[in-house]
Amino acid sequence: MNSVTKKRKYILAAVLAVFTLFLFTACGAAQLQQPPVDSGVEAINLEGTCTVERVGDNLRVYCSSNVENGAVVKLTLDTYDGMELASKTYTKQGDDIYAEFAIEPSWKGEIFGSMTCSPADQPAEITEKYGKRFQNIRGDQVIFDVSGNVFVAQSESFQLDA
């Protein structure tokens, strides 16, 4: 390989490096932001608790929350690393809700219970109040991603030893 070819390759590599740096810098400036509350609407503060207890051969996920009645909520059992073991979906009525799951032989170790309420598949009354992307809800247990806000109440860890 002659010196002109080597020089061209070094220049091309340098140009590509500068271009890559420029792309990463430009993309990094656009950070994910929580959707703003609708204009003229007061944010709704959501909160709740969740516990897991053993009831015979079942695990009961018990949750209490001020999520609006009529909202679709999901109660789940998850492992420490986030693998969903079981779940049930309900339309919330009243402040307290629970689900029982038969313990599977493969379930061992640290387990968490949770209740989530997300913008997906909600009745019109809920999206009207919380917003299409749940932009009108706030609270320490509200997380967000590109699809909008999600309310999550999670239990302390529960140790399941067969």
- Mean pLDDT (whole number) for 48-68: 96
Q: pTM for this one?
A: 0.78
Report the alpha-carbon distance of residue 50 to residue 155 in Å, rounded: 5
Residue 54 lies inside a defined structural domain of this protein: yes
Task: Using the predicted structure, report yes or no on whether residue 28 has a pLDDT greater than 90.
Answer: no
Number of structural domains found in the chain: 1
Q: Rounded mean pLDDT of 145-150? A: 88
Tell me, yes or no, whether 89 lies in a domain. Answer: yes
Q: What is the DSSP string of 2-53?
A: -HHHHHHHHHHHHHHHHHHHHHHHHHHHS---PPPPPTT-PPEEP-EEEEEE
Alpha-carbon span 156 to 51, nearest angstrom: 7
State which residues form the domain around 121: 44-160
Q: What is the mean pLDDT of residues 68-85?
A: 95
- Within-domain flag for 22: no
Q: CATH number for the domain including 120?
A: 2.60.40.1930
Residue 31 clears pLDDT 90, i.e. is over it: no
146, part of any domain: yes
Asked if the structure places residue 34 within a domain, the reply is no
